[in-house]
Amino acid sequence: METRTTYAYRLYPSRAQARHLDATLETARRFYNDLLGERKTAYAERKTAYAERKTAYAERKETVGLTAQRRRVKECKATNPHATGVHSHLLQVVAEDLDRAFRAFFRRLRAGEAPGYPRFKGRDRFRSVGLKEYGNGFKIDGRRLKLSGIGRVAVRWHRPVEGQIKTLRLTRKAGTWYATFSCVVDAQPLPATGRAVGIDVGLHHLLATSDGAYVEPPHYYREGQRRLRVLQRTVARRTTDSAARRAAVRRLQRHHERVANQRRDFLNKVAHRLLTEYDVIALEDLRIRNMVRNRHLAKSILDAGWGYLARHLTSKAASAGRAVRLVDPAYTSQDCSACGRRFAGLTLKDRWVRCPACGLSLDKDHNAAITILRRAGHARPDTTGAVAPVSGEAVGR
């Protein structure tokens, strides 16, 4: 079985290449805004025509779609001097990105969620461009990445690129450029272990397993808040549109990126250990977007990274031959894992549960993990082992 995976590498462009990359990103941003403006205008004209009951005009005035906007690429390269040296595939990907944003907008609208109409991108709100065919606009040339119109860019190859390269995405984060390759690779299933585990995520413990192991939250964001406050005050004191403010913003962006990298690295290691140890992993299907509406818990929930852990586990399980099962999260912490009796009056402060019906006495998170495993279709938890500590942060009990 073949799967898609991505490999990200840091680029080290020369000063001239960095200017070309910045100019290419700016050209793509302006083209994105032009296409968005075209769609908004077409929608407004169509809506007005319907309101005025000019049915014949409304039928002729079709909504601008992806195919029509792809044709704008040739026109843009012919009329815009800044787009002359930009590869046409790059501008086509811009049109596809906008179309994807509109499809997501209509999906949310149909689902009754906050629709979030696509917005015009400011200078600091447009971060990436893409090329969609290896050998046509980009290719690996020795130890460097050859880009059309930019040249051979130095790359930090910290790991080999595996599989067949399909597309490339160039991203600028905190003033640093990255190349992300999307590759088709053969799935490499891990050896079967015959074990299953239920996982309860929380704030007291980052996660508790049905085996009785715990992983403690590292609190990277909270630990970096003192430095964050200093950087934010520095940005606020700088003059708007000054070089000093741009430098201060860059330092603030790098701090946020460092915290995000720390969190991802830790969660990736936790996920790898779980996928190595277990064939089936049961998780709660949490609605994190609703949970963060609680202003007292929002920061801690987002700092824990529950959503990223679930997405990463699900993504990696496909190629590892593992199964991730999402279960209903209702009352997992309030139901007895032995007899199913619902505990009354439990609060977030209660860390231990005792069942008067069957005599169960257990840590609340451990009990919830066993309940999650049962809801996933396993009669009892696997107790042949536990998740080992990760980077010294996990403590088994």
End-to-end CA distance of the chain: 38
Residue type present at position 137: G
Nearest by Cα to 283 from 190, 371, 390, 385 = 371
Buried b (16+ CB within 10 A) or exposed e, 55-70: eeebeebeebeeeebb
Record the tokens describing residue 66, joined without a space. 């992806």
| 96 flagged as catalytic | no
Give yes or no for a contact between 178 and 11, defined as CB atoms under 8 angstroms apart. Answer: yes
Q: Rounded to whole angstroms, how far apart are CA atoms 68 and 138?
A: 26
| 200 flagged as catalytic | yes
| 365 flagged as catalytic | yes
Please pick, among 211, 277, 279, 284, the residue that the annotation labels catalytic.
284
Q: How far is CA 121 from the centre of its chain?
A: 20
Please pick, among 200, 211, 279, 303, the residue that the annotation labels catalytic.
200
Q: Rounded to whole angstroms, how far apart are CA atoms 153 and 172?
A: 14
Give the catalytic positions in this structure: 200, 284, 365
